[in-house]
Amino acid sequence: MSASVTYRAAPGGRLGGRVRVPGDKSISHRSIMLGALAEGVTDVSGFLEGEDCLATLEAFRIMGVKIERPEPERVVIHGAGMRGLRTPHKPLDLGNSGTSMRLLCGLLAGQPFSATLIGDASLSRRPMKRVIEPLTLMGVRVEASPDGTAPLIIHGNTELHGIDYVMPVASAQVKSALLLAGLYAQGRTCVSEPAPTRDHTERMLQGFGYPIARHGNTVCVQGGGKLRAMRIRVPADISSAAFFMVGASIAEGSDIVLEHVGVNPTRIGVINILRLMGANIELLNERTAGGEPVADVRVRSARLHGVFIPAEQVPLAIDEFPALFIAAACAEGETVLQGAHELRVKESDRIQVMADGLDALGIAARPTPDGMVIQGGAFSGGEVDSHGDHRIAMAFAMAALRAGAPVTIRDCANVNTSFPGFAGRARSAGLGIQQV
């Protein structure tokens, strides 16, 4: 993967037509993980062939799981069963994927072997204590750096015990890791979260025939069960669709339909927040695919206004804030985000990096410890650095639709982790973007 990819986006334009963004990253990861542990053959269509999900796929191949890729965006997983994974003969390199690393910590906790997890420079800075500490309570030993970061060595324990764990911070990755460990634990494992987070793991476990118990904000699994293979149709990723939602909202004359987008209630914070800002968004042809709600999302340009983002929407839109910051920059008045400290420990410090980029393009943006205050204005054009963060690169590309001069975005190679072919798809929708 080249580190020298740069985007150059021409000012102005509008978005239109029908666009299908790649498959949901969260669901693609989980389809590999649960398919590998299931009995039988799991057939997945719409699989995201981004670098993050391919890192998960390769990790399970190294652990002896036969996975075929008969055609684009389709994988066929020959399940090894709950006890069928083999000792990896080398470290599992998870690249840039925090989801892969944190969920694998849980899944590997109950195995009869040890495994080493490594990643790129960005992933090796991301905090892992939040998942290591509760797994330690279940009986697994995890070696990490003195700062609690990768590389990690998971010393599997076949005698894990279930725990009741109250998460101090809402995190779907931590919740999922503990539920996966709970599949191997004696007794019941319950996880309580302070605010709702994406529930793809729970939905998919039920799809694979594993019972889940929910009581308010607590979800529980009983160890010792089995998974049965299934067919999975992965919906288009709302996190990737978010850039087009914002682009169409801010660019006058835009009218775009985003096809087969996952609209899971725990993921639609971006739609809710944009609507609060005055966006014109319709959900068409609502239906269910593989246990997940999906819809075609029509977005037309609208006059946006600043808002105070409701606290309950923050965990439902945590990955979409780079795009939402662009919307806020184009809105009339002030937009305030609080309670999003998690953004500082993503692929980059998304609060500081977005504030720096907005400032470089002429927007008044004041970072705070857990959010940002943005005063709507006019993009001047210029150059920004994405710091290797895929979502920041795509967000600033959409800013060009309202810029007075070209926008150049540096360090964009990691866009391939979640949205391979982004520049071409955005260009076909009307954004004047080139990769140089």
Active-site position among 52, 319, 389, 411: 319
319 is known as an active-site residue:
yes
SS3 208: coil
The C-alpha angle 238, 244, 246, rounded to 5 degrees, equals 100
Task: Beginning with the edge strand found earlier in the chain, give each strand of the sheet holding 364-368 in spatial order.
Answer: 334-337, 371-375, 364-368
**Per DSSP, what are the bridge partners of residue 44?**
75, 232
What is the rounded distance in angstroms from the CA atom of residue 416 to the CA atom of residue 433? Answer: 16
Cα 69 vs. chain centroid, distance in angstroms? Answer: 22
SS3 194: coil
What is the rounded distance in angstroms from the CA atom of residue 299 to the CA atom of residue 304? Answer: 13
Of 126, 165, 171, the residue nearest 266 (C-alpha): 171
SS3 368: strand
Pairs from 65-68 (Cβ < 8 Å, separation ≥ 24): 65/36, 67/32, 67/36
Name the token pair of 412. Answer: 């964009």
Query: Can the peptide bond before residue 151 be classed as cis, meaning omega within 30 degrees of 0?
Result: yes
Alpha-carbon distances, residue 337 vs 373, 428, 435 (angstroms): 6, 32, 32
What is the rounded distance in angstroms from the CA atom of residue 21 to the CA atom of residue 98? Answer: 21
What is the rounded distance in angstroms from the CA atom of residue 37 to the CA atom of residue 103? Answer: 13
Burial class (CB in 10 A: 0-12, 13-18, 19+), 215: exposed
What is the rounded distance in angstroms from the CA atom of residue 60 to the CA atom of residue 76? Answer: 13
Under 8 Å CB-to-CB from 424, ≥6 apart: which residues? none
Residues acting as catalytic residues: 319
